[in-house]
């Protein structure tokens, strides 16, 4: 079975994560899918397959005799899909030898238009897998799972010499909980790659530093007929708070390494209002400046309208893994060389988001991210290039059969997993 065939099978499993469920994993479908993958792993010959009660699925392939001294490599992908579009009853379409132009998405009335999605212009001749316009596809990150499984099967069936391979599939990456119950020592790798990026050939090791902000505003609600000099409309104060933030530092006005403030939710009445933000910046110092800007805004309104009017809660989410990966350039060199051998054009790109790899890097498992051949994640316009997916499988095979010596260097205060040190 090739990677595209696996993806077509995997997307039938509904694995939408739910940040409000209070469960780990956050949705039952993820465990159903994990059990399916565990069975498949055993069937193709992956050893020591184990699924913990939180939905983390691990397995391994022992090193070829004579290569046991090489540092074990990990391959990782996540099982859940985003809640931003329906993830059940996925009816994927296959377009063979894409000739260009507009692609209708089933009978939904939606279409993939190169004018809006210019990546299509670089995929002429490729076999594409799309949605029918009513759901997401789930290539994020079932394409990564399919590629890892296909690469593992190929390694096992071909007898290609390789270092020890550790395979892991995580739940709840989309809600930032993918590594909460990930035991790095039990996983067993010295370093790893998440296979969770976009176009084939992408290599990413810079992600946002991230924080969240909750703003709660207390107003005074009175009858509007007698409100003069008495009413304090919390909704207007919410707008006033937001207006204190730089208008050009928002997702729709930034790119590349530029950070932003993103208002993701707001609600309110005259008496109370709430705003929820995510703060992002590749530069840690600039993220701290953004947090300071919000504190100053809250302080200003509290001086203006009275103490306790605005309550601000800030919480750090994750850090830029560049701090770890830049100490280990061999990981990027190996990924680039493997991409070239697979006839992919390696492209170093910053991640305008987060990844399980960022969390794991700060747990002592350096973890750059690789492209999957998937595009337009988190919506009905999501699609994947089956052609690129097969090239990514080649890239993974070249990567895990690379015999380069890897000595991981970690900053003070971050310890390597015990199994990786022995």
Pairing of strands 202-206, 369-371: antiparallel
Catalytic residue among 14, 40, 80, 132: 80
Please give the order of strands across the beta sheet that includes 128-130: 93-95, 128-130, 383-385, 374-375
DSSP helix, strand, coil percent of the chain (3-state; round to 5): 30, 25, 45
Beta-ladder partners of 261? 279
CB 367 within 8 A of CB 76: yes
Tell me the C-alpha distance between 110 and 22, whole Å: 35
Tell me the C-alpha distance between 170 and 180, whole Å: 10
Nearest to 5 by CA among 378, 342, 376, 393: 393
What phi-psi label fits residue 420: left (phi over 0), alpha (psi between -120 and 50 degrees) or beta?
alpha
CB 130 within 8 A of CB 103: yes
What are the distances in angstroms from CA 372 to CA 7, 196, 242? Answer: 11, 6, 37
Could you confirm whether 14 is annotated as catalytic? no
- State the number of CA atoms in the 13 A half-sphere of 134 facing the CB: 10
Residue with tokens 């790119």: 255
Tell me the C-alpha distance between 135 and 154, whole Å: 31
Could you confirm whether 173 is annotated as catalytic? yes
DSSP 52-116: -TTS-EEEEEPPPTT-TTSPPEEEEEE--B-TTS--SS---EEESS--SS-EE-TTSS-EE-TTT
Catalytic residue among 132, 153, 173, 394: 173
Helix (H, G, I), strand (E, B) or coil at 117: coil
CB 353 within 8 A of CB 262: no
Catalytic residues: 80, 173
């Amino acid at each position: 079975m090739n990677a595209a065939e696996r993806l077509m099978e995997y997307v039938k499993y509904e694995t939408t994560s739910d940040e409000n469920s209070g469960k780990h994993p956050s949705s039952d479908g993820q465990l159903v899918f994990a059990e399916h993958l565990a069975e498949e792993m055993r069937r193709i010959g992956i050893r020591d397959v184990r699924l913990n009660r939180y939905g983390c699925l691990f397995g391994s392939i022992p090193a070829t005799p004579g290569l046991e001294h090489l540092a074990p490599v990990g391959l990782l992908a996540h099982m859940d899909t985003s809640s931003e579009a329906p993830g059940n009853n996925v009816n994927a379409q296959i377009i063979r030898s894409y000739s260009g132009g507009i692609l209708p998405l089933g009978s939904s009335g939606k279409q993939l238009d190169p004018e809006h999605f210019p990546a299509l212009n670089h995929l002429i001749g490729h076999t594409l897998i799309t949605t029918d316009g009513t759901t997401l596809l789930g290539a994020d990150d079932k394409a990564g799972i399919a590629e890892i499984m296909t690469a593992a099967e190929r390694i096992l069936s071909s007898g290609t010499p390789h270092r020890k391979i550790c395979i892991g599939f995580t739940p709840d990456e989309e809600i930032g909980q993918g590594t909460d119950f990930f035991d790095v020592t039990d996983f067993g790798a010295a370093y790893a790659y998440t296979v969770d990026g976009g176009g084939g050939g992408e290599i990413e090791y810079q992600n946002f530093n991230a924080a969240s902000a909750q703003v709660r505003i207390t107003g005074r609600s009175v009858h509007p007929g007698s409100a003069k000099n008495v009413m304090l409309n919390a909704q207007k104060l919410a707008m006033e708070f937001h207006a204190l933030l730089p208008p050009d530092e928002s997702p729709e006005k930034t790119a590349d390494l530029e950070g932003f403030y993103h208002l993701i939710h707001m609600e309110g009445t005259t008496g109370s209002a709430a705003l929820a933000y995510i703060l992002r910046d590749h530069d840690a110092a600039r993220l701290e400046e953004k947090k300071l800007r919000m504190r100053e805004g809250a302080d200003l309104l509290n001086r203006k309208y009275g103490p306790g009017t605005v309550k601000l809660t800030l919480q750090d989410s994750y850090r830029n893994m560049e701090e770890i990966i830049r100490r280990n350039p061999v990981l990027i060199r190996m990924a680039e060389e493997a991409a070239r051998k697979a006839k992919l054009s390696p492209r170093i790109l910053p991640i305008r988001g987060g990844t399980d790899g960022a969390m794991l890097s700060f747990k002592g498992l350096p973890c750059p991210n690789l492209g999957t051949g998937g595009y337009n994640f988190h919506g009905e316009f999501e699609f994947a290039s089956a052609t690129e997916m097969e090239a990514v499988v080649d890239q993974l095979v070249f990567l895990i059969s690379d015999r380069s010596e890897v000595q991981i260097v970690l900053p003070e205060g971050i310890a390597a997993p015990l199994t990786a040190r022995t």
